[in-house]
Amino acid sequence: MDIWIKAAQLFLSLAILVTLHELGHFIPAKLFKTRIEKFYLFFNPWFSLFRYKKINGKKKYSWFSKASPKEWKEDESTTEWGLGWLPLGGYVKISGMIDESMDKEQLEKPAEPWEFRSKPAWQRLIIMIGGVTVNLLLGFFIYTMVIFAWGRVQINPQKMAHGVSVHPYLTEKYGISSGDKILKVDDDTLYNLDELNKIVMLRDISSLTVEHSNGIQETIAIPEDIGLELFQNNAFPAFGMRSTSSYVEVVDQASNAEKAGLQAKDQLLQINGEQVTYFDEIQNALYANKNKTVAITVLRQTKENSNDTITLNAKVNEGGTIGFAVGVSAVQDSTAVETISYSFLNSISAGTQYGLNTLGDYVSQFKFIFTKKGAGSIGGFATIGNLFPAVWDWQAFWMQTALLSIILAFMNILPIPALDGGHVIFLIYEMITGKEAPQRVLEIAQYVGIFLLLGLMIYANGNDLIRWINGGF
């Protein structure tokens, strides 16, 4: 059931985003009196689920058809509206434009005044950036309304008596330990722990001011490439709330934990003779013994309902793990979790800033993609679907939809042929030089862009398939 709930949320989110994106092209095209031949939600190779067109004042419908009815083609002045069966996006077919339809026959005829190619370059530019603009503004608008309706939940570090949970890599490399309190980022007081991971991973900072568990404060220098460093060393999330984790929830198949005999529901007591209560203590103990064998003492309930204390020997891999997940018994400092309410005007400012931060963080993540680890982490529709919760939660749905809207805006403005950004590059070239790019160049660029996008889609969804086979989903 979980997978269907996630799939339904993904489908609805994409339907909203694609429709509004294409309206971003449709509306300025209409304002500039450019003919729109088709407006489709989802792609329709070979056949369409539904078609609609108004001809001579009469509404015409067609269900599950392979092509538009013949009489529809006789009146090209009105738009055909349709629903495709392939939910990979959507499109607006604009007369006189080289697009994914590759309709070159129309372009071999003399240009008509209602065609895209007959319009001034500045009008064509506005038409092309319309979809990106709508998606960007939509993301900001959704964030604004979510913050206004539900407020913003934040974790106040000043109220965390037990300090933060810290990935052991930071302890080893920079001396920041679990139980420390993070007071400042550079010279700014930290008010929300949730933002700290984004700040450290994706934004330019130079120092963290921490208060160690012994009460001593220290300002620790942070290198510029700290985000890439943490990413490559699997040290993310770097910070979190401390939680007691005393039992094993899942043991990975064929892992060192399974080979050692660890079982689900085992209660963790000690690692190498040291008592472990918090999750970060388990994480730290294993990380400190990378590529070594550790003795794990657990309390196990037998079939006779008696409790046996068992010591297991497990080999820790180079990443500091042995292949199991722990269950959280209790989160410390739950009183530090606060909900901040906003007036409507204040929510506009907060929502816009959140959207700008989201866009900036997403752009910053691209430096990870050009690494071996980053390339392997690229995902397709299954990965996107997993962004949504397993239960229908409108607040979470709208937050993820806003994120996808901003991602869609950024991806579409990339200067890749077949994307909006590719068309924009050629239009800017024309506006600077005063000459249109040759039609043949536009055709070849469109083909190249389509092949690049198809290749990326196959690669991303192939990664999803491999993760599913390996039990990663």
DSSP line for 375-426: HHT---HHHHHTTS-SS--HHHHHHHHHHHHHHHHHHHTSS-TTSHHHHHHH
Burial string for 267-304 (b: 16+ CB within 10 Å, else e) reads bbbbbeeeebebbbbbbbbbbbbeeeebebbbebeeee
Specify the pLDDT at position 400. 95
Cα angle, residue 434 at apex, residues 429 and 438 outer, rounded to 5°: 65
In Å, what is the CA distance from 232 to each residue of 23, 153, 367, 375, 460? 40, 30, 11, 12, 20
- Rounded CA separation 85/87 (Å): 6
Interatomic CA distance for residues 111 and 118, integer angstroms: 6
- Which residues, given as ranges, of the chain have pLDDT below 70? 1, 71, 73-75, 98-108, 246, 304-306, 470-473
Tokens of 135: 């998606």
pLDDT digits 0-9 by tens, 42-87: 888 888 888 888 887 778 888 888 877 776 766 677 888 888 888 8
Residue 293: which residues within 8 A CB-CB, separation 6 or more? Answer: 313, 314, 315, 316
Number of residues in the chain: 473
Query: What is the C-alpha separation between 465 and 473, in angstroms, rounded?
Result: 9
Q: Do domains 157-241 and 243-331 have the same CATH topology?
A: yes
Give the per-residue pLDDT at 22. Answer: 92
Candidates 1.50.10, 1.10.101, 2.30.42, 2.60.40; CATH matching 157-241:
2.30.42
Residue 326: what pLDDT? Answer: 85
How far apart are the C-alpha atoms of 442 and 426, rounded to whole Å?
Answer: 8
Domain edges within the chain: 157-241, 243-331
pTM: 0.84
The answer to whether 297 and 231 have CB atoms below 8 angstroms apart is: no
Q: Does a cis peptide bond (omega within 30 degrees of 0) precede residue 415?
A: no
Asked if 234 contacts 270 with a C-beta cutoff of 8 angstroms, the reply is no
| SS3 call for 127 | helix
Whole-number pLDDT of residue 88: 76
Measured distance CA(412)–CA(416) in Å, rounded: 8
Q: Would you state the pLDDT for residue 236?
A: 85
Task: Quick: pLDDT tens for 414-435.
Answer: 888 878 888 898 889 888 888 8
Task: Match 């929830």 to its residue by tokens.
Answer: 249
Q: Is 330 helix (H, G, I), strand (E, B) or coil?
A: strand
Q: What is the pLDDT of residue 105?
A: 62
Strands (E), 272-410: 274-275, 293-301, 307-315, 324-327, 330-331, 337-340
Range 243-331 has CATH code 3.30.360.10: no
Cα torsion angle, 309, 312, 318, 324, sign:
negative
Residue 472 to residue 323: CA distance in whole angstroms: 12
Tell me if 159 sits within 8 A of 335, measured CB to CB: yes
Q: Decide if 380 contacts 121 (C-beta within 8 A).
A: no
**pLDDT for 208-228, tens place per residue?**
999 998 999 999 999 988 988
**Dihedral sign computed on CA atoms, order 243, 249, 250, 255:** positive
